[in-house]
Amino acid sequence: MRRVAISSWATSKFAKDSRMPLLELACEPCAEILKNSVPRKEIDAVLFSSCATDQYSSTIISEMLGMHPKVSHRIDNLCNSGTNAVASAFAMIASGLCDSALVLGAEKADSPGNKLLWDITRGSFIFPVHWAAIFAKAHMRKYGTTEEQMAKVSVKNHKNAAKNPQALFKKEVTLSEVMNSKKIAEPIKLLDCSASCDGASAVLLVSEEKAKNLDNPVWINGIGQQTNSASFANATNDLTTIEAAKRAARYAFEMSQTKPSKIDVAELHDAFTILEILAYEDLGFAEKGGGGKFVDQQEIAINPRGGIIGCGHPVGTTGVAQVTEVASQLAGKAGKRQVKGCKTGLVQNLAAAGSSATVIIMGA
Amino acid sequence: MREFIEHLKTGKFRVPKCMSCGRNAWPPSHCCPYCLSKTSLKKIETTGILLEFTSSHCKGKEGIFGLVEMSGIKLVGSFHTTHLKEGMKVRMKECGIGPDGTAFYFFTPTMA
């Protein structure tokens, strides 16, 4: 299997309404990459991550950008789409099917991916906040996790987002503001939640051979994926764990031959604050039940771009944007939010009640 | 799924049961996820255990809701009482399709 590197990346400014149609939005970060990297004729694959159902969209984007790739298609796996597209591109290059692949994610704020109407097991409680509230309640009851610990996740991620020019939210919030924000589904409050928005992001993956010409390539050293179900009912047997994420992490750590204590920087799927706390445990950063206390730690830089809570959540874009952030950090190009001396990074991306998950481990 | 919905519309909770291995297919499916044989809708025991519950303040979705396990399947039901405790026995009192087109499963604690 060939090694795969990330050679370049770009993320658009996330906005409540970009006033751009989806495909125009999608082209924005791609154009930035294509102007500054390999000739377009050398790109073998274009993989478009989006929950929008626009027909033939990947191929339309390829044509709009003047590309004639061997492979072009859309990948949809709800909020987990972006890293799924990266994993597919990785596999195509590692196998020798392609030498380079452009992975792009784009989503509008009103994406059909925001609700999973298919899941009849959720009854009338169809919003993501409903399953998140059940996870939060279970973790509080079993391990004594507090609403304040969850609020601290929001404070931290908003603080990080304030340094990120591409983030939707650029205003810091106080613990008191989070705690006193509107109740949505107890114990989850408005500022414990991410917000849907318009956004696009893209990364260019290349083979080891092509990476020889790069100054500071970022390597993808491990990928783990797990799909447990599509429904909330069958996603997990333990309401204090995202079982798919736990397994995906195990696969990724095995493949990369590294361990949680080696991770310097991580982008975690904090669509709700409780999910970041569960991720600490599922990824092996904290012991089971210790996620609430782990929020105060300083060893690993968690969600330096502001996470999903700070940046906004254009569902099909999120996984790609997470990868661009960790790549920026490992390449030492993260500007004001640069984490000093980071060598190993991790991305964790989830879909629908944690029914499926992806973990990607990257190295400088 | 279509037949399940048709029954649900009339207030009947019928779950596809595998005609070969006898297990319940949930979420509803014409195909058994265990042995891939065909399923047929059957009435099941609708008394179960409340695993976790909380309350929603979302517009149009206000109320108490919780995850219930019964006859080997799990689903999110609604409750009209706050006198609940995790692990308690509950039974489905009513089900159907609401005015917004989503399914509803209304549970109540058993008296025992």
Is A139 annotated as catalytic?
no
The alpha carbon of residue B12 is apart from the nearest alpha carbon of chain A, in Å, by 14
B86 interfaces chain A, CB cutoff of 8 Å? yes
Contacts of A234 in chain B (CB under 8 A): 26-27, 74
Instruction: Compute the mean pLDDT over every residue in chain A, rounded to the nearest whole number.
Output: 96
Q: Do A125 and B73 touch (CB under 8 A)?
A: no
Angle, vertex CA A333, rays to CA A34 and CA A13, nearest 5: 60
* CB-nearest partner of A121 from B5, B55, B76: B76
Is A313 annotated as catalytic?
yes
pTM of the model: 0.96
Taking the C-alpha atoms of residue A236 and residue A277, their distance in angstroms, rounded to an integer, is 16
Instruction: Kindly report the length of chain A.
Output: 364
Taking the C-alpha atoms of residue A233 and residue B26, their distance in angstroms, rounded to an integer, is 9
Name the closest residue on chain A to residue B73, using Cα atoms: A233
B49 interfaces chain A, CB cutoff of 8 Å? no
pLDDT of residue B112: 54
* CB-nearest partner of B104 from A123, A136, A185: A123
- How many C-beta neighbours within 10 Å does residue A287 have? 11
Is the per-residue pLDDT at A105 higher than 60?
Answer: yes
pLDDT for B20-56, tens place per residue?
Answer: 999 999 999 999 999 999 999 999 999 999 999 999 9
State the residue for tokens 């990080």.
A160
* CB crowding A181-220: b at 16 or more within 10 Å, else e: beebbebbbbbbbbbbbbbbbbbbbbbeebbeeeeebbbb
Structure tokens belonging to residue A177: 């503001």
Helix (H/G/I), strand (E/B), else coil: A317: helix
Q: Choose, from A79, A98, A193, A342, the residue flagged as catalytic.
A: A79
B4 interfaces chain A, CB cutoff of 8 Å? yes
A238 Cβ contact partners less than 8 Å away, ≥ 6 residues apart = none
pLDDT for A205-228, tens place per residue?
Answer: 999 999 998 888 999 999 999 999
ipTM of the complex: 0.96
For chain A, percent of residues with pLDDT exceeding 90: 94
CATH of domain A4-114+194-363: 3.40.47.10
Taking CA atoms, A14 is separated from A170, A211, A326, in Å, by 11, 29, 18
Domain range summary for chain A, segments of one domain joined by +: 4-114+194-363
